[in-house]
Amino acid sequence: MAKFVPHTVKPEAAHACAWPQCAEPGIFPAPRNPRNLSERQYFCEPHIKLFNSRWNGLDGFSEHEIYQMQDGAATWQRPTWNIGLGAAGGINGAKVEHPFTNADDLFGFFKSRVAREKAGESLPSTAHLPADVKESCAIFGIEQPLEVMMLKKRYINLMKQHHPDVNKAEAAAEQTKRINIAFRILTDYAERYGLQAA
């Protein structure tokens, strides 16, 4: 293994080793303080090894400060906000009337439904639906059968959660079968009745 050779230091510019009672020249830089890593001190080769074995870069930091460093490092110390909302609480700073809590309606596919709910209109009754379609809706976590493309999207999301290769629960295989059957029933119903995107 090759030996580390520090950057060239002119003999007249060499620092004294910062280790107490050491007269050797210090050519290996090391930080003085975990809170200020750019402030340097210099050690000779035997003492830099000792220093490095004892160095604790988080010495003196509180638990909260350590968490803040980790949290900030995940976003490269850049400000963040919820998806779809600008820094001022809206897209490009505009006020958002219906901030969404998940990305299911990221592009406003259900705007007509939201408008009907705001106007006080009731959603279509599910009483007319056949029992197997109602049960399939319950499995998919929806109130009404959706158009085919939205059903496919929901199906993919459910399979990502419940597929036995991903979900190691004992009931995962059975749940996957139920999701497949529900998907067939709902797509058949949507195609039969010509459900289209709003």
Structural domain boundaries enclosing 34: 11-59
6 contacts 27 by C-beta, under 8 angstroms: yes
Residue 53 in any domain: the answer is yes
State the Cα–Cα distance between residues 151 and 109, nearest whole angstrom: 13
Q: How many domains does the chain have?
A: 2
**From first to last of its 198 residues, what are the pLDDT tens digits of the chain?**
556 655 555 555 578 999 999 999 999 999 998 888 889 999 999 999 999 999 988 888 898 888 888 877 777 777 766 665 555 544 444 454 544 444 555 555 556 556 666 666 555 556 677 888 888 888 888 877 777 888 899 899 998 888 888 888 888 888 899 999 999 988 888 887 766 544
Tokens encoding 154 = 């929901």
Tokens encoding 140 = 């998919």
Residue with tokens 């950057």: 7
State the Cα–Cα distance between residues 117 and 123, nearest whole angstrom: 8
pTM: 0.38
Please say which residue of 21, 37, 59 terminates a domain. 59
Residue 153 in any domain: the answer is yes
Residue 4 in any domain: the answer is no
